[in-house]
Amino acid sequence: MIRKEDLPLVVDESMNEVHFEEVEMINSFLGQLDEKADFDTLADSFEELLAHMQEHFAGEEKLMKESRFPSYRLHKGEHDKILNEARYIYMDWRTRKESEPLREYFEEDIAQWLDQHIKAMDIPMAQFLKDGVVQCSIR
C-alpha cells in the first residue's frame, strides 16, 4: 500500500486530488492482488489505472503548455517514460500472469517514482502556475 499521507503536496489542490485518486486506485489494485482476484478483474483495474495515469499526465501537460512552463519537455519526458513502462509491465503480466512482480512494481518502483516526480517536477510546476515564475531550478 502507498500511504496517501506520505504523498508530497503541491500548491494546486486539483493536482493533489488527482494524485490522491491515483494512489487510491493503486491501493485498491494491490488489495485485489492480496485477495487473489481473478484475471479479468485485475486486468480491468490495471487498464483503468493506466487510463487514469494517461489522463493525469495529459491534464498536467495541458496546463504546462497553456502557461508556457519552461521545463515542459523534461516533465513530459518523465510522464511518457513511466507510462510506457507501466504499459509494458501490464503486457508482461498478461503473458506471465505472475502477481508478485506486479506488487513489487507498484509498491516500490511506482511509489518511489511518484514521490520523486512530485517533488522534482510537479511542485515547481504548480508553483509556476500560481506565481508565473520558476522558483526552483530542476537539475
Give the interface with Fe ion as residue ranges (CB under 5 A).
60, 121-122
d(CA 42, CA 96): 14
CB of residue 56 vs Fe ion: minimum separation in angstroms?
A: 8
Cβ 83 vs Cβ 57: under 8 Å:
yes
- Provide, rounded to whole angstroms, the least separation between the CB of residue 100 and Fe ion: 28
Amino acid at 94: R
> If you ran DSSP here, which 8-state letter would residue 103 be given?
H
- Smallest gap from Cβ 64 to Fe ion, in A, equals 9
Return d(Cα 114, Cα 112) in angstroms, integer. 5
Residues in the chain, overall count: 139
Q: Which is nearer to Fe ion, 93 or 122 (CB)?
A: 122
- Comparing CB distances to Fe ion, the nearer of 89 and 121 is 121
Residue 49 or 121 having the CB closest to Fe ion? 121
